[in-house]
Structure 1
Amino acid sequence: MFQYKAKVERIVDGDTLWVDVDLGFFLRQKMHLRLWRVNTPEIRGIERPEGLRAKQYVADALPPGSTVVIKTYKIEKYGRFLADVYYLPGSDDNDQILAHGIHLNQELLDKGLATLAEDY
């Protein structure tokens, strides 16, 4: 597991986002993330209304430019990094985010916007 500070670039759907990761030593990399062990409804097909609600919730919580701390685990079959995402509105300090922040993955589960995905 690796831990990084990142800036949110774009929300794809309720469990997928693009971030710009600070790798240290003035190195940055754009990463496609899939929330670890979380599955939100799809934004296409029969699940569309619920999927759009989950996406909007994440977009409201993490507008572009928001600072997050990510913990990455592995790359899944579509090339996305599986990650836990933590945020604290108004803060860009890693330590504060980790100590007092919100675990997005768990928040989506708690609010009924996602289900637990055991297949990772």
Structure 2
Amino acid sequence: MYAQRNCPFVYKVTAIEKVVDGDTVDVVIDLGFDVRVSQRVRLLGIDTPESRTRDLEEKQFGLLSKKKLKQWCLKAVESEKDDIELELRCEEADSRGKFGRVLAEIWVTEDGHATNVNKWMCDEGYAVPYVGQNKADVEALHLQNREKVRHEL
């Protein structure tokens, strides 16, 4: 089960440049006063199947996870509704992982209802909870998720 984090640092996302895979996205962050910065973001606390791999079965599920993340992100930034917002919530002001990516939860707020996309990805079977352990340690969870979402392929 995904453990929601205490993420007091909130940043508004104004554009999606690219959804890299199911747990990584390139975004434009609005820092205020017309200052914007492009950053690569790693979704905090989750792991998704790889979409760039020689394992064709894993690749199918990785592409499905990527598709679901993309749907959430595009819903927020391409909507004509004024009340949909996409934001990053971070544990620290400059929260970065070992590859220099911003570590954050992605939240989409629509009609006053906020959804933690990281948690949603885990709940729906597109990701597994991940806190830096070895990939082999989460493999069984990934295999369980495959059965949960296989009908979508």
Same fold (TM over 0.5): yes
In percent, how many aligned pairs have the same letter? 31
> Following superposition of structure 1 onto structure 2, how do residues 9-20 of structure 1 map, counting pairs within 5 Å?
9-20=17-28
- Secondary structure, counterpart of 1:71 in structure 2: strand
Q: How many residues align structurally?
A: 112
Residue matched to 1:2: 9
How big is the shift at 1:62?
1.6
> Following superposition of structure 1 onto structure 2, how do residues 70-81 of structure 1 map, counting pairs within 5 Å?
70-73=88-91, 74-81=95-102
- Work out the CA distance in 1 between the residues paired with 2:41 and 2:67: 17
- Work out the CA distance in 1 between the residues paired with 2:47 and 2:89: 17
Larger radius of gyration: 2
Runs of at least 5 residues in structure 2 that lack an aligned partner in the other structure: 1-7, 78-84, 134-153
> Following superposition of structure 1 onto structure 2, how do residues 1-120 of structure 1 map, counting pairs within 5 Å?
1-7=8-14, 8-45=16-53, 46=55, 47-63=58-74, 66=77, 67-73=85-91, 74-89=95-110, 96=112, 100-119=113-132
RMSD of aligned alpha carbons:
1.9
- Secondary structure, counterpart of 1:79 in structure 2: coil
Runs of at least 5 residues in structure 1 that lack an aligned partner in the other structure: none
* 4+ residue segments displaced more than 2 Å: none
Q: What TM-score, normalized to structure 1?
A: 0.84
The amino acid that maps onto 2:36 is R
Larger proportion of helix: 2
- Work out the CA distance in 2 between the residues paired with 1:65 and 1:37: 21
Instruction: State the Cα deviation string for residues 59-102 of structure 1 (Å, max 9, x = none).
Output: 1222287141111231111110000100135x7xxxx4xxx121
Distance of aligned partners of 1:62 and 1:12 in 2 relative to their CA distance in 1, 3 Å threshold: same
Larger proportion of strand: 1
